Amino acid sequence: MATTVMQVRVDEELKERVAAICDGLGIDLPTAIRMFMKRTVLQNGIPFSMTLPKQDYNDNCTPETTHSTGTAK
């Protein structure tokens, strides 16, 4: 199987935190990334739930906005 090199820019602190978690699990960061990629293929999508925060909608099916209730001067 041919391999390829990927480069990804990520925040250094994030990388260190993820690497520490992987180390605790007994795997290195490249292995974790390969696991993510293989699971993505197996599930034919992102292997975890991805949702946006729930919004309340008005009768026109547009998001409700919250207005401050301060008094006008």
Q: What confidence tens digit (pLDDT) does each residue in 9-24 have?
A: 999 999 999 999 999 9
Residue 53 confidence class, pLDDT cut points 50, 70, 90:
confident
Q: Above 70 in pLDDT, residue 68?
A: no
For residue 72, the model assigns a pLDDT of: 52
The letter for the amino acid at 19 is A
Per-residue pLDDT, averaged over 44-73, amounts to 72
Per-residue pLDDT, averaged over 47-65, amounts to 76
Question: Is 41 strand, coil or helix?
Answer: helix
Q: Above 90 in pLDDT, residue 1?
A: no
Give every CB contact of residue 31 below 8 A, 6+ residues apart in sequence: 22
CA 73 from chain centre, in angstroms, equals 44
